Amino acid sequence: MEGIDQILPRVVRKMGVSRQVRQARVEAAFKQACGDYLRDHVRVVAVQGGTLVVACAHPAIAHQLQMESVRMLEAVNLELEAKPLTRLRFMNES
């Protein structure tokens, strides 16, 4: 008998929501990796191929995240089963 972990991915794909599920998993993993202070000042905007697009409240936050981009991407990629994210792109929060 198949378990839910085998059945659910097929159902999600058939429903056409796998992109949204991936986006939600990326958002949750990114917020966890940011830590308590930065979490309130950043927001995942999109996942475009291998790029994670993040909006930052201030350029200094984007700079800090850029310096920690390898660690951030590794943390997010641990939660993904498919194509890993390889790049962070930043934009101003508006």
- State residue 36's pLDDT score: 86
pTM: 0.76
Residue-wise pLDDT for 23-66, tens only, equals 888 899 999 998 888 889 999 999 888 999 999 999 999 999 99
| Residue 76 exposed, middle or buried by CB count within 10 Å (0-12, 13-18, 19+) | buried
Share the mean pLDDT of the chain: 86
CATH topology of domain 4-92: GMP Synthetase; Chain A, domain 3 (3.30.300)
Residue, of 10 and 64, whose pLDDT is higher = 64
At 12, the pLDDT band (50, 70, 90 cuts) reads low
